[in-house]
Structure 1
Amino acid sequence: MKKRITALFLASIMGIMTLAGCSSAPAETPAEEPAAEETAAESLKISMVTDVGGVKDQSFNQSAWEGLEKAKADLGIEIGYIESKQDADYEPNLETLVDGENDLIWGVGFKMADAILAAAGNYPEQKYAIIDNDYADATPDNVLGVLFKEEEPSYLVGLIAGKMTQSNKIGFIGGMDVPVINRFRFGFLAGVKAANPDAVVDVQFVNAFNDPAKGKAVANQMYASGVDIIFHAAGDSGNGAIEAAKEQNKWVIGVDRDQNDLAPDNVITSAVKRVDNAMFNVAKELKDGNFAGGTTIVFGLAEGGVDIAPTTSKNVPADILEFVEAEKQKIINKEITVPGTEEAFNSMN
């Protein structure tokens, strides 16, 4: 039977921490062995396999690694990672971490769902966790799923875009046309519409999370067409959109992490997805003897798992921030339900 951890439980356990700042990945990452940072011999060992974006993607994977780095610093847990260069690397990389006798192995990203499921079946005593995937009723007892309500922070940055656009032309660049990215997409569309019904949003997908050149090309095309704000949800590909905004002195909205540091005058806000919080919290629960295998944890605004970037106040006027904060509280109080699918978005019309 499918099990989910309730928002009340999540709210209590998420209160244990708030991550601040960014940490860089270790200098060496051998292809055949995880880059491990050792602590006490008796400590827990947790490692992760990145998706093809890599651990320095300035986005999703980097946030996950920062969560493990905090687990090392605060909890004394031994940590490591292996980067995947292509999808075919997922299974052998997971196998390497099994051989490394990890207490918990993470798969970072929905693209690893099949590889994690196969590994969990092959090694039923090994604990696994995966970001952005829910196996629903088929979640193995040795697997923990972690999902986020990406639509919620996307709605908030959509409000900002709708209020700040001067051309009423806004862009959305997605990594792939898949459910997790569409939660960003439709939440953003709903926010733009709520703030500015006259604005139109150009939606395009680059079909890759590790192609910044293509992300930049799509962004340049959008800016040339009159778009003045772009929201990207495309991992490393979106870094190309940020570069285009910087070169053309346009506005762009980051994703996953606070990406203002990449272009301080151009990244007006970011839809922050606290993968770091999730990684740390699960590590703490494991150290405390708790592992919620067979379940899926869902993190939203109410649980502190998503939000807009703390640097938003640098480039967004105070009156708009006040408006956004009021709407945020309405979401937390369940006065607003943000759509995460096309069907839900269309039902709002």
Structure 2
Amino acid sequence: MKISGLFTAVSLAALVVSATPAMAQQKTLYVAGYGGSFEKTMRDEVISDFEKKHGVKVEYVAGNSTDTLAKLQAQKGNQQIDVAIVDDGPMYQAIELGFCGQVQNLPTADLYDTARFKDDRAVAVGFVATGLMYNKKFFEEKGWAAPTSWNDLKDPKYKGLIVIPPINNTYGLYTLLMFAKMNGGGEKNVEAGFDIMKKDVNPNVLAYEPSPGKMTELFQSGQAALAVWGTGRVQSFANTGFPVDFVYPKEGAVSLLASACPIEKPNASPIASEFIKAMLEPKIQLILLKDYGYGPVNKKVEVPAELGKMAPIGERAASLYNPDWTSINAKRDEWTKRWNREVER
């Protein structure tokens, strides 16, 4: 039996904001974003200085992208969250559902065009590549060469050693999509992807794990040696000293935009956009690169050579596969139900 990843929903009650319409500015800013090492970086490098500068308290609500989107849907008409930080796929959904306001006074001249969403309803705060992570020490001890291809996930020698996030996580979705794309399909035809996942990849999977903390635990305990993950997560894990490395598969890595938007609601916080813009400043962009492997979205950032080993920068960024999220989101619920029924059983 596979180990199934579970996430614990954060109580909505914890998000209650005590504010009145007459208040010119909220005293507390609620930011919903990724957990794990990303949350630590946000608390250490962004939130503390922002609180001092603006005289507010920032409450950070950790969760994966689909969890945050679910909160926005549950709070429709009575939004508690002020800023949402999610993957680009859920962000397109959030915009379509009317949850995102416009980022005010966005420094557009400083940003790469690919970082901007239509009408500035959101903005990417970092470029991420999705590919393979492997335990270098484990592979060396086994005498195995480093993985080079998405097809390595099908190799029987990795039976019980692979971890892939589930399909409600962008990394799991991209795994399905890449196998479809490599075999004549794509966003509009994922049959080949499902067939390969069921027959060839699933027998090798130890866990479909959404939790970053659990993912690292499975590697640290020696239970897992190969995974599908993003440069941000892998860089952060490698920064702890654990011997992991990231592989850009020869068939292509997939782009992921870590994105942020101010939440549209009556009496929306005037500093929601300011919080987002703080993450776009060159100093913070370099920190996100160093701590989290994000390729900078700000063109003014000068990247030191030693910090650009994993992140999608330059030619690596230009060669990423950029999925059609309009097509994906139209089918994502259907694919999720099918995945749960046929793959992750």
TM-score, length basis structure 2: 0.41
Tell me: higher relative CO, structure 1 or 2? Use CA pairs within 8 A at least 6 residues apart. 2
